[in-house]
Amino acid sequence: MALIVQKFGGTSVGNPERIKNVARKVIQEKLAGNQVVVVVSAMSGQTDQLIGLCKQMSDNPSKREMDMMVSTGEQVTIALLAIGLIDLGHDAISYNGWQVGIRTTDEYSKAKILDIDTKRIRESLDEGKVVVVAGFQGIDHKGNITTLGRGGSDTTAVAVAAALRADRCDIYTDVDGVYTADPRVVPDAKRLDKISHDEMLELASMGSKVLHDRSVIFAMKYNVPLRVVSSFDDGPGTLIVKESSEMEDVLISGIAKKDNEVRVNIAGIPDKPGVASSIFKKLADANINVNMIIQSVGFEGESQISFTVINTDLDEAKKVMETLQAELGAKNVSYDADISIVSVVGVGMKVYSGVAAAVFDELAKNSINIEMISTSEIKISVVIRKNLAEKTVQALHKRFFLNA
């Protein structure tokens, strides 16, 4: 008997009719002779609505209470799905994150899963039940409810699959797989049959919304066979797998864009050892994740550093930067939210040269100014004006996928 973890996103559970459709998909797996654990998101739009309610109470709502609030969205869907399954004659039971021991760090709104106590899930599976688990939420060491960051239900699913050593984790969503670019931006984007963990991780961290980035980290670390499939039709989807050498034959796997980062620039700081360390230590202590970092070459004893943070961390980051400006005697700190980051990702870059040159050439031809550049072994990212982001993705997609 195989153990399958299925995850259904917000659109897939968007209304009672759709939840009934999910119940039928779950039953199919069960009738095929499998044990099934289902992880669900809140109904689409629900999390935004709950956040909106909190913001009506305060401009700066308590993070603990925000997590208390937004975690309720998933509680609604687990109950509805369990009710639907039972109604169709299949025994099922729903659990909140804390009821099945999903222990996390205490970073509200972006907690990380530490471990999962699978005892209760196993017991219910052994009783022949379908187990329905709330995505996106957990509990910290003090018993507070935490959430994993937007889109975090994917991570719950993969972490549950890893903890249970499941045979497969299927992520059901409103698209039928991972595409070479967001099909809403690039209509002729193509579905990928498979993609490596590393590429998927880069794409997910750089703005592709198909999978939550931490879910890919779990899949990679614990070797969970992961598949992205559509809730609405029966296509093969995309497999996320270990890298193999034939993958390097494909130069580029995908292009992603990220619109929710803000650039922070601190100028006129002393050009001496320890300055970068003091800046990024303070940001890390405040649990602020930094994405791109660029330091310019020092000149006359001064230097400047630019980096990007996610916009939901901006208020927090501003507080840290104020203290730092005073401490370092920095001349100026500025913020720019009008940027996007566009990234080109592919393991083929490890063996083929000239990808960076082609990216820059294409942007030059389109008169798109590059404001920051960063690279990894399998990725090239550029910061550009936000209003040029779609055009940039379209141009690069054409360059790498259509003229190839």
Please report, as ranges, the residues that interact with ligand ASP according to CB under 6 A. 9-10, 41-42, 47, 73, 135-136, 150-153
- Interaction partner, residue 14 (Mg ion, ligand ASP, none; CB < 5-8 Å by kind): none
- What is the spatial distance between Cα 269 and Cα 357, in angstroms, rounded to a whole number? 32
- Contact, 63 vs 109, CB < 8 A? yes
DSSP letter assigned to residue 43: P
How does DSSP classify residue 351? T
Give the whole-angstrom CA distance, residue 384 versus residue 363: 10
* Of residues 84 and 151, the one with the C-beta less far from Mg ion: 151
Question: In terms of CB distance, is 210 or 363 closer to ligand ASP?
Answer: 210
Measured CA to CA, the distance from residue 302 to residue 84 in angstroms comes to 65
Q: Which does 346 bind (CB under 5 to 8 A by kind): Mg ion, ligand ASP, none?
A: none
Q: What, of Mg ion, ligand ASP, none, does residue 104 touch, CB below 5 to 8 Å by kind?
A: none
Cα–Cα distance measured from residue 292 to residue 306, given in angstroms and rounded to the nearest whole number: 8
**Minimum CB distance to Mg ion, residue 240 (Å):** 15
In angstroms, what is the minimal distance from the CB of 65 to Mg ion?
24
Binding segment toward Mg ion, per CB under 5 A, in 143-151, 175-183, 243-251, 341-349: 143-151
Sign of the Cα pseudo-torsion (118, 120, 122, 125, in order): negative
Residue 85 binding partner per list Mg ion, ligand ASP, none, with a CB distance cut-off of 5 to 8 Å that depends on partner kind? none
Q: At closest approach, how far in Å is the CB of 77 from Mg ion?
A: 13
Closest among 353, 15, 391, 404 to 181, alpha carbons compared:
391
Helix or strand run (H / E) with residue 254: strand 254-258
CB 36 within 8 A of CB 26: yes
In this structure, the strands spanning 379-385 and 339-345 are antiparallel
Q: Which of the stretches 26-34, 60-68, 149-157, 365-373 binds Mg ion when contact is defined by CB under 5 A?
A: 149-157
Q: Which stretch binds Mg ion (CB under 5 A): 6-14, 155-163, 292-300, 329-337?
A: 6-14
Residue 135 binding partner per list Mg ion, ligand ASP, none, with a CB distance cut-off of 5 to 8 Å that depends on partner kind: ligand ASP
Structure-block tokens of residue 226: 């992961």
Can residue 152 be called a binding residue for Mg ion (CB under 5 A)? no
Nearer to ligand ASP (CB atom), residue 139 or residue 368: 139
Give 144 or 366: the residue with its C-beta nearer to ligand ASP: 144
DSSP states along 257-309: EE-SEEEEEEEEEE-STTHHHHHHHHHHHTT--EEEEEEPPPBTTEEEEEEEE
By beta-carbon proximity to ligand ASP, the closer residue of 8 and 307 is 8
Closer to ligand ASP by Cβ: residue 7 or 129? 7
CB of 336 to Mg ion, least distance (A): 28
The tokens describing 141, both together, are: 């060491």
Q: Rounded to an integer, what distance in angstroms lies between the CA atom of residue 91 and that of residue 109?
A: 33
Taking the least distance from each CB to Mg ion, the nearer of 9 and 138 is: 9
Q: Which is nearer to Mg ion, 227 or 282 (CB)?
A: 227
Nearest approach, Cβ of residue 212 and ligand ASP (Å): 7
Single out the residue of 4, 8, 9, 401 in contact with Mg ion (rule: CB under 5 A). Answer: 9
Strands (E), 162-253: 168-173, 194-196, 226-230, 238-241
Residue 188: enclosing H or E segment and its boundaries?
none
User: C-beta of 42: minimal distance to ligand ASP in Å?
Assistant: 4
**Least spacing, CB of residue 374 vs ligand ASP, in Å:** 26
The residue among 209 and 391 lying less far from ligand ASP, judged by its C-beta, is 209
Number of residues in contact with Mg ion under rule CB under 5 A: 2
* Amino acid in the structure at residue 345: V
**151 contacts Mg ion (rule: CB under 5 A):** yes
Q: Are strands 372-376 and 130-134 parallel, antiparallel or unpaired?
A: unpaired
Span from 43-51, 123-131, 148-156, 258-266 in contact with Mg ion (CB under 5 A): 148-156
Buried b (16+ CB within 10 A) or exposed e, 296-333: eeeeeeebbbbbbbbeebbeebeebbeebbeebebeeb
User: Which is nearer to Mg ion, 36 or 204 (by Cβ)?
Assistant: 204
Q: Residue 138 binds which one of Mg ion, ligand ASP, none, with CB within 5 to 8 A depending on kind? A: none
State the binding partner of 136 from Mg ion, ligand ASP, none, CB within 5 to 8 A by kind: ligand ASP
Name the residues that contact Mg ion, by CB under 5 A.
Answer: 9, 151
